[in-house]
Structure 1
Amino acid sequence: MLLTGVDSHLAGVPNIPEMIAPEQRAQPNYQGVLGDDVVTVATLLEDAGYNTYMAGKWHMGMEPDKLPSRRGFQRTVAMMDSGADNWEQRPYLPIYDQANWFADGERFTLPDDFYSSRFLVDSMIEFIDSGSQDGEPFFAYLPFMAVHTPVQAPQEFIDRYMGVYDTGWDDLREQRLERAAALGILPADTPMVRMETTDDWDALSEEDRSYQAKRMAVYAGMIEAMDFHIGRLIDHLKQTGQYDNTIFIVTSDNGSEASGPADPRGFPQRLGPANLGYNLDYETLGLKGSFSTIGPSFASASASPLAYYKFYAGEGGMRVPLIISGEPVGPQLRMTRTFAWATDITPTILSLTGVSQPAERYAGRPVQPITGRDLTPVISGASDRAYGPDDWVGYELTDHGVLFQGDYKLVVNQPPIGDGQWRLFNIATDPGETVDLAASEPQRFQRMLANYEQYRRDNKVVPVPEGYSQMRQIVLNALLQSRKTIIAFLLTLVVVVPFYVAYKSARANRALPSD
């Protein structure tokens, strides 16, 4: 959606391919790879005379015609899978035979001194410098691997956060809410729920608390390492005289990741990482050879005061920052709580660069129209909103459904964490999704349900089959597709099943109010 301005279902990626059920894959828009009937913003900018560069995670198709080098990017270095090790060329799940890296359309071997955030910024600096003599502007797409699983960081960045999280996830969740309110990001009286998947910190042993706190320290270190290398890129642009003419757009693809087990050190939880050569030892956590996640408790705290996390449709899984900055958009520092959507990024870039949106046909073929909104009126202060009170935006992922309209959000989260019931929230006043308005505003509720059904029809949404679960489908797809079927199945089983069991053990209700 970010690269095309088109809804994910029509763009060909309604879900990652590893999670698509066979019944859905029968539909042409359910292949999990970027469709041939969408045009990327890189293609449009390249055709307008821009140099176009990409360094980072792709995961939208590995066939020759799906590579980023064939979708508008002139120079590329790309991780093609859902994720990989950040220290070396190693897969992070046994569903992959190898970590698939490509550079400029060809398979690529990583350097021996690889660390993902440093390497990606080094590559981007090299790309920008390679085209700096021709006088053309550049478009740089830098999708970091941080902080995707496995969570890993250099020791010096981890050290900065040792001890910071020793008071646990409930304390962190309260601190994050207070800080967000103090910064004006959220209303000061924002209520929040305590997710049922959050464990009792005080019930843990001292050793367990230390281990959990270090998991979060590695996570924070990985974020700061990414930020440090972004700073290197900015410094390079300043040194080469390009900074004042550069627009920066910073955002994230989802909320925090909770699918790691609550405690990864048990025997079944260790088997999967161990079979891939990883360790989970406290002393080396985050370093080369280690495998770390933060688990559901700290994931919930990271998204404070929001509910749920990645793969679910709660605000904790969907709401992310959006920063648009740079001298060309003006020196003012302004914050807005207005709603914006991933599809808005492409039309905004096109507007800022003066490049036209594609017509019904592009390069001799019909293409899907851009449905996102141009955010430049909001950026300039000419408008307070990109969407009016009657405009709506839908979303669906494995039957988790959402419709945004005005200040309201219609949402359903499926089991094992959700209960499969549609709810209505005012996310302007209640971003923590604590007060269900479905009964008190029945007309709005029914109207938004009807709009969601219209969204499903317009975007060719295919329901998941009965009994579907995301984690189980990963296992089944690995069994069906891998050349080393039995081994891959067993290894995937020992990696994924503990995650699934951790979710399944939670009660099916959505969340419990905080004390």
Structure 2
Amino acid sequence: MKKAIHRKNYSRHFAALIVLFVSLQASGEQPNVILILADDLGFSDIAPFGSEISTPSITALAENGVSFTNYHTSASCAPTRGMLLTGVDSHRNGVPNIPEAIPPEQASQANYKGVLGNNVVTVATLLQGAGYHTYMAGKWHLGKTANLLPSSRGFERTVAMADTGSDNWEQKPYIPIYEKANWYADGKETTLPEDFYSSRYLIDKTIEFIDSNRGDGSPFFAYVPFQAVHIPVQAPKAFIDKYMGVYDEGWTVLREQRQARAKQLGIVPETSDMVTMSTTSSWDILTDSEKSYHAKRMAVYAGMVDAMDFHIGRLVDYLKSTGQFENTVFIFTSDNGSEASGSDNFNNKVMRFGLGLQDYNNDYETLGAKGSYSTIGPSFASAAASPLSYYKFYAGEGGLRVPLVISGNSIAASRQKTNAFSYVTDITPTILEIAGVARPGQHYGGRLVEPIIGKSLLPLLKGEVNTVYSEDDVIGYELGGHAALFQGDYKIVNIRGPVGDDIWHLYNIVSDPGETIDLREKMPGRFLTMLENYQVYVSENGVLPVPEGYQQVRQVLINGMRDRFGDNILILLFTVIIMIPLYFTYRFAQRKNV
């Protein structure tokens, strides 16, 4: 057993990197790279992974590239983004959790600030140093002070939303822990246009940035982290209308349909099974009006995915019309699995009152439009993650396993799909090798920096290997007390209560991605070895235990009120009134598991 977790053999592929770098420089053909990140997109939310949602742009990318069906991230946005852009584990790069959810017992530690540390180098910084133009348009959530914004972390041109999320139709905070929606352009506060819709605007800005330097001979790196499909779930009416009636049979039928398509497409094995989440309500006991309401919630969600895909298509069309498409590599993925907040009892008087205090409504007629607030709740979230278990925040496959598509004519892909294990820290080294840019050493810019721990996926893309991870390689993971460790085809996982049982389980996630067969008793030797490996991961990476009774949503509420209002008790109480509906609908979903 290897003692060090995530230890990288830094000389591996070094010679190939140098040869590739020299050849690309000599030919002047360094590829452009576009990294597209969806927000809270479930495993089967795009057509190539089994969805009924129309995603022709992403489908075309998948057909011209490789789909990774065993790719994993963190189960929450900021930790994923930190690892995605640095190749460094979340407990070493400063972002082990979103800052809004870090309890005081952890926040005193240097690696628990929830913002990207100065001990890491972003892929944008490295590419910029190699002559790339670097652009970013979308959600940042890695710090909002001047030295932490993307304009200070290697991005030449930026328009960035710094919070966990915001409204998609106007410059408005989506939860009252924020006084305003914090948008920045090139490091300065900015105002959104009157005709703003998030997906359209972010692609408009990306095209604007790329076009501003077109023809100067330099390649570009563009990072496009969408707000879709983070709450509030909102979409233009034309996209919503396409899905009216599609979800009338409910979430259980949808989950089964997606499982069947995923098997047919080879995304999961034909013999794999799936569990029914205990947070899934019974569709059959709902009234007709309740069914119609929930079906439209999912139609809005589908419309938001569809709209995102449409605007990705606009970016592709622009690149084709300007002769830049052939030399561009696309990477599309999601920051974590589907979002289950909002409960299935979303359309009640308490929720309507709370939303009204925020100048929102959840009326059926206008669901998804400007001024509306919608979520899909835990039952449809399980369908969005089909055929996996759990969803965002949790260490089940539905929270951690998301689609990954890497596409481009400059990549000689030998296969359309791979079930080889891959992890979010692999994205930065993959981009660097594609671009012919070396990894940083122990020091960068006069400071000591953390080494990149991820592995380049380029050998997989080129068909040179079947996997980049050996049976001995281990990947540890922890977020909010939920924990996992991957090794070979296996995973151990512990999900805290009340949604989980706070017990370690062992699964073969290649043959059983739905995590239906616990192998702990059948494979005690492997289980104990992996458990020991997890303890090494905890020790080597400074993973701290969560306080007794810790719950993510509750901590966000406490931290947010304290940060915004301090000791102003009247405003504090007002905010509690607003947040009570959100918190108790969340608890309602949890209590079903006790």
TM-score (norm 2): 0.84
**Does the C-alpha gap of structure 1 residues 488 and 402 become closer, same or farther in structure 2, counting only changes over 3 Å?**
farther
Q: Show the counterpart of 1:505.
A: 591
Q: Which amino acid aligns with 1:392?
A: V
1: CA distance, partners of 2:578 / 2:540: 36
Q: Show the counterpart of 2:75.
A: none
Matches within 5 A, 1:288-327: 288-327=370-409
Which runs of 5 or more structure 1 residues have no equivalent in the other structure? 509-515
Which string of whole-angstrom CA distances, capped at 9 and with x for unpartnered residues, describes residues 198-229 of structure 1? 11101000000000000000000000000000
CA contact (8 A) 1:347 1:374 kept: yes
CA contact (8 A) 2:149 2:187 kept: yes
1: CA distance, partners of 2:426 / 2:237: 37
1:411 to 493, 515, 520: 493
2: CA distance, partners of 1:496 / 1:296: 13
Query: SS at the partner of 1:66?
Result: coil
Query: SS at the partner of 2:422?
Result: coil
Q: Show the counterpart of 1:83.
A: 165
Query: SS at the partner of 1:11?
Result: coil
Q: Which amino acid aligns with 2:198?
A: S
Q: Show the counterpart of 1:512.
A: none
2: CA distance, partners of 1:171 / 1:161: 15
Q: Which amino acid aligns with 1:137?
A: P
Q: Show the counterpart of 1:93.
A: 175
1:400 to 478, 482, 486: 482
CA contact (8 A) 2:346 2:585 kept: no
Cα shift at 1:142: 0.2
Which string of whole-angstrom CA distances, capped at 9 and with x for unpartnered residues, describes residues 293-314 of structure 1? 0000000011111000000000
Q: Show the counterpart of 1:486.
A: 572
Q: Show the counterpart of 1:221.
A: 303
Q: Does 1:268 align with 2:350?
A: yes
Cα shift at 1:495: 4.1
Q: Which amino acid aligns with 2:393?
A: F
1: CA distance, partners of 2:574 / 2:559: 10
Q: Does 1:115 align with 2:201?
A: no
* Greater mean deviation of Cα atoms: 56-65 or 271-280: 271-280
CA contact (8 A) 1:279 1:290 kept: yes
Matches within 5 A, 1:354-503: 354-483=436-565, 485-487=571-573, 489-503=575-589
Q: Does 1:170 align with 2:252?
A: yes
Q: Does 1:341 align with 2:341?
A: no
Query: SS at the partner of 1:53?
Result: strand
2: CA distance, partners of 1:463 / 1:493: 27
Q: Does 1:6 align with 2:88?
A: yes
2: CA distance, partners of 1:206 / 1:110: 40
Query: SS at the partner of 2:312?
Result: helix
Query: SS at the partner of 2:307?
Result: helix
Query: SS at the partner of 1:244?
Result: helix
Q: Which amino acid aligns with 1:386?
A: V
Q: Show the counterpart of 2:229.
A: 147
Q: Does 1:187 align with 2:272?
A: no
Cα shift at 1:478: 2.1
2: CA distance, partners of 1:41 / 1:270: 43
Matches within 5 A, 1:122-133: 122-133=204-215
CA contact (8 A) 1:271 1:494 kept: no
Q: Does 1:350 align with 2:432?
A: yes
Query: SS at the partner of 1:163?
Result: coil
Q: Which amino acid aligns with 1:498?
A: F
CA contact (8 A) 1:190 1:429 kept: yes
Q: Show the counterpart of 2:359.
A: 277
CA contact (8 A) 1:59 1:82 kept: yes
Aligned-residue RMSD, C-alpha = 1.1
Cα shift at 1:190: 1.1
Aligned pairs, how many? 508
Q: Show the counterpart of 2:45.
A: none
Cα shift at 1:260: 1.5
Q: Does 1:72 align with 2:72?
A: no
CA contact (8 A) 1:262 1:502 kept: no
Which string of whole-angstrom CA distances, capped at 9 and with x for unpartnered residues, describes residues 466-488 of structure 1? 11111111121123211265146
Query: SS at the partner of 1:202?
Result: coil
Q: Which amino acid aligns with 2:428?
A: T
1: CA distance, partners of 2:416 / 2:386: 22
Q: Show the counterpart of 1:246.
A: 328
Q: Which amino acid aligns with 2:219?
A: P
* Greater mean deviation of Cα atoms: 487-496 or 363-372: 487-496
Q: Show the counterpart of 1:286.
A: 368
CA contact (8 A) 1:475 1:489 kept: no
1: CA distance, partners of 2:347 / 2:448: 52
CA contact (8 A) 1:7 1:371 kept: yes
CA contact (8 A) 2:340 2:391 kept: yes
Q: Which has the higher contact order (CA 8 A, sep 6+)?
A: 2
CA contact (8 A) 1:394 1:403 kept: yes
Query: SS at the partner of 1:117?
Result: helix
Q: Show the counterpart of 1:511.
A: none
1: CA distance, partners of 2:151 / 2:433: 24
